[in-house]
């Protein structure tokens, strides 16, 4: 499953909008559904249900990582702005 997580993580990026990422996730879900259909298992088969659960869990984890990355970037930008303001206030001007 780690390879699958890596595949999804490579397909999306923090620079993409949420809608764009949702489109990627939809394609992933459809691809997995086609693979499951080829296996010919019933829709309520525990293996199918587990795979679907793992897909949703993987998507959730990738989204969490993206949100964490964006949040840390905003914090760093705010810190840089605060430091610049502090320097401007307390640095002697010749």
Please report, in tens digits, the pLDDT of each residue of the chain (94 residues total). Answer: 567 777 777 788 888 999 999 999 999 889 888 888 898 888 788 988 898 899 899 899 989 999 999 999 999 999 999 999 999 888 766 5
- 21: Cβ–Cβ under 8 A, 6 or more apart, which residues? 12, 63, 66
Q: What are phi and psi of 81, to 5 degrees?
A: -65, -40
3-state secondary structure of 29: helix
pLDDT of residue 6: 75
């Amino acid at each position: 499953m780690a390879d699958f997580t890596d595949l999804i993580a490579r397909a999306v990026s923090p620079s993409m909008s949420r809608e764009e990422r949702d489109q990627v996730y939809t394609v992933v879900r459809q691809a997995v559904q086609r693979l499951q259909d080829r296996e010919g298992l019933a829709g309520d088969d525990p293996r199918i249900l587990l795979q679907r659960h793992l897909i949703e869990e993987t998507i959730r984890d990738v989204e969490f990582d993206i949100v964490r990355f964006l949040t840390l970037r905003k914090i760093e930008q705010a810190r840089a702005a605060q430091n610049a303001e502090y320097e401007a206030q307390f640095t002697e001007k010749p």
